């Protein structure tokens, strides 16, 4: 059996998130300043860039303030989940396709709120 989540590359997913989130260049999600410096990468997700704002001095990363922040699933799984939601698959079908347990799949459809909105 083919595991579809192995076909998607995390590097491309993070590159796409950065391009969609910051089409004019990275800005601080806290003060909106474009004066940010790169601060290495996340240890568990090497494609996830870390930053520090030189104005407000707050640290953030590619997913800070998005629906993807604070979840343990890799970004490629979220990307596929969103794709399957667009095909109108049920949570059970999504769980089966992504080899997730049904509880994880149940939590992921919060993504319907929008890519870069923090859930309330």
Dist. CA 39–CA 52, nearest whole Å: 6
pTM: 0.73
Model confidence at 4, pLDDT cuts 50, 70, 90, reads low
Dist. CA 104–CA 106, nearest whole Å: 5
Starting from the edge strand earliest in sequence, which strands make up the sheet with 49-53, in order? 36-41, 49-53, 59-61
Predicted local confidence at residue 3, as pLDDT: 61
The model's pLDDT over 84-100, given as tens digits with 9 standing for 90+, comes to: 888 888 888 888 888 88
Mean pLDDT of the chain: 82
CA distances from 116 to 29, 66, 98, 100 (A): 11, 4, 22, 23
Dist. CA 42–CA 51, nearest whole Å: 10
Domain assignments of the chain as residue spans, ordered by start: 4-109
Dist. CA 84–CA 65, nearest whole Å: 23
């Amino acid at each position: 059996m083919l595991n579809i989540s192995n076909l998607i590359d995390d590097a491309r997913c993070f590159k796409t998130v950065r391009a969609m989130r910051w089409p004019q260049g990275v800005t601080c999600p806290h003060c909106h300043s474009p004066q940010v410096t790169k601060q290495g990468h996340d240890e568990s997700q090497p494609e996830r860039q870390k930053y520090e704002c030189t104005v407000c001095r707050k640290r953030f990363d590619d997913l800070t303030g998005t629906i993807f922040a604070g979840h343990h699933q890799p970004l490629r799984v979220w990307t596929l989940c969103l794709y399957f939601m667009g095909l109108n698959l049920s949570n059970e079908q999504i769980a089966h396709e992504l080899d997730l347990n049904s509880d994880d799949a149940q939590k992921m459809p919060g993504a319907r709120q929008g890519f870069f909105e923090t859930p309330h």
